[in-house]
């Protein structure tokens, strides 16, 4: 159930941001990324609390997010991607499930 919810919310986030890009000439409000990132974190905590009742599985989750943030910032400063891409990559990382 959580897998489908994650995928649906991530798809909605990317569709909203795509529509904003076309309407506002490549500018997306940061609130979109903050709202969906927060939802991704909440879903992850709920899943691990009710499904596993063991928060040790959250360690790989946070390590992966940290690696994603570091790599995203590096490729941003190397001018390979823009600021919107940086925020999108970080937001998508919150929707990843680490235990099946």
How far apart, in whole angstroms, are the C-alpha atoms of residue 36 and residue 81? 21
**Is 99 inside a domain boundary?**
no
Domain annotation covers residue 80:
yes
The answer to whether position 100 is within a domain reads no
How do residues 5-39 score in pLDDT, each as one tens digit?
A: 888 999 999 999 988 888 877 778 889 999 999 99
Domain interval for residue 46: 2-93
Residue 45 lies in a domain: yes
Helix extents (H) in 48-81 = 58-77
Mean pLDDT over 64-81 rounds to: 93
C-alpha Rg value of the chain to the nearest Å? 14
Residue 63 is assigned to a structural domain of this protein: yes
Asked if the structure places residue 16 within a domain, the reply is yes
Write down the pLDDT at residue 54.
66
How many domains, the chain? 1
Residue at token pair 């709920």: 46
Range among 33-37, 41-45, 48-52, 82-86 with highest mean pLDDT value: 33-37
The pLDDT-based confidence of 60 (bands split at 50, 70, 90) is: confident
């Amino acid at each position: 159930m959580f897998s489908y919810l994650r995928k649906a919310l991530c798809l909605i986030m990317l569709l909203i941001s795509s529509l904003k890009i076309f309407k506002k000439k490549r500018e997306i409000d940061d609130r979109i990324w903050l709202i969906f990132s927060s939802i991704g974190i909440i879903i992850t905590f709920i899943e691990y609390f009710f499904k596993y009742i063991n928060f040790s599985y959250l360690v790989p989750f946070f390590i992966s997010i940290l690696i994603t943030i570091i790599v995203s910032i590096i490729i941003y400063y190397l001018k390979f991607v823009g600021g919107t891409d940086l925020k999108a990559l970080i937001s998508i990382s919150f929707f990843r499930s680490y235990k099946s």
